[in-house]
Structure 1
Amino acid sequence: MFTTVEMLAQQPFLAGLTEHQLDLLAPLTSRSMFHAGNRILRESAPADQFWLITEGSVFLDSEVPAYTNVVLETLRGPAVLGCSWLFPPYRWQFGAVAVDTTHTLTFNGPLVRALFQTDPALGYELTTRFLHVMSNRLQAARHRLADFQRASGHRTQL
């Protein structure tokens, strides 16, 4: 059986962190499992953790009045779920629901933020990685929007 440090070391998002850094993160981590249809997080609820999806898939969704939740993206392991825990006001910007049985490593957001204060190098490294994830997701959303506009014949300027 793998130890938590060994499991962390296998995660692409954490690749390249030192053993010392992984040792600092390990006590702030637990394993979780979500069954298909389980809501993992709800838009605008307090954001106090994040997940590394190790197996399974998750829909990122958004609440749209008069509609069911709109799926914005599907995350498949390995993937990062949740960035809102990192920035005030610490509220989820999107929702998430498990598509199938999904296994994760769950991190305690407030404790990780406190760790960043005591280890600024780790804080910088992980914040940079989260910003990279957010940038990639923003670009993917922009491409999906452009595809939608082309398919629907809209010529709205962005």
Structure 2
Amino acid sequence: MFTTVEMLAEQPFLAGLTEHQLGLLAPLTSRSMFHAGNRIFAQGTPAEQFWLITDGRVYLDAEVPGYDNFVLETLKPGAVLGWSWLFPPYRWHFGAVATSTTHTLTFNGPLVRALCQRDPALGFELTSRFLRVMGERLQSARQRLQECQRAAGHHSDL
């Protein structure tokens, strides 16, 4: 089943984009489903898409010495998953695992990058939104690591 402009307009991450901009994105989008426990992507592997979570939950995790897939954050419906597809070297900085059956809108990263080059206004808008997500995710990861260090009795200036 194809993705419509109306479906995209319902997504918080895309709120405020014009109908024309959503119309440009719609053909680059498909729907995906991940079962609980499925790894969506692994840290360090090629990043070629991003997802808007419409239902379900996803853990963001990282390879941290002494931990098995250290969970950094839980993403819920309305969240965007994946920003590494936008910036070279196009490799995932974190990993992601579905923790329940998760439905998403999936965007083809290389095609969205090409669209952003052709449409600078859309490119600016999406890049700005992803930069906000990056900042939030990195801050969340930092806080989670600090909590774990405090719980383990370690002190650091992370």
Q: TM-score, normalised by structure 1?
A: 0.92
Q: 2:32 matched to which residue of 1?
A: 32
- Deviations along 1:30-84, one digit per CA (max 9) or x if unpaired, are 0111110111111111110000001100011123456422211111111010000
Q: 2:45 matched to which residue of 1?
A: 45
Q: 1:131 matched to which residue of 2?
A: 131
Task: State the alpha-carbon separation in 1 of the partners of residues 32 and 41 from structure 2.
Answer: 13
- Deviations along 1:13-37, one digit per CA (max 9) or x if unpaired, are 0000000000000000001111101
- 3-state SS of 1:92 partner: coil
**What runs of 5+ residues in structure 2 fail to find an aligned partner?**
none
State the 4+ residue runs in structure 1 displaced beyond 6 angstroms: none
- 1:70-85 pair list within 5 angstroms: 70-85=70-85
- 3-state SS of 2:26 partner: helix
- 1:1-158 pair list within 5 angstroms: 4-64=4-64, 67-158=67-158
**What runs of 5+ residues in structure 1 fail to find an aligned partner?**
none
Q: State the aligned residue count.
A: 158
2:3 and 2:31 in contact (8 A); partners too? no
Q: Is the alpha carbon distance of 1:49 and 1:3 closer, same or farther for their aligned partners in structure 2, counting shifts above 3 Å?
A: closer
- 3-state SS of 1:97 partner: strand
Which region of structure 1 is more displaced relative to structure 2, 13-22 or 147-156? 147-156
Task: State the alpha-carbon separation in 2 of the partners of residues 135 and 87 from structure 1.
Answer: 14
The alignment yields a C-alpha RMSD, in angstroms, of: 1.9
- Aligned identity (percent) is 76
Q: TM-score, normalised by structure 2?
A: 0.92
2:46 and 2:91 in contact (8 A); partners too? yes
Amino acid aligned to 1:29: T
2:29 and 2:107 in contact (8 A); partners too? yes
Task: State the alpha-carbon separation in 1 of the partners of residues 138 and 121 from structure 2.
Answer: 26
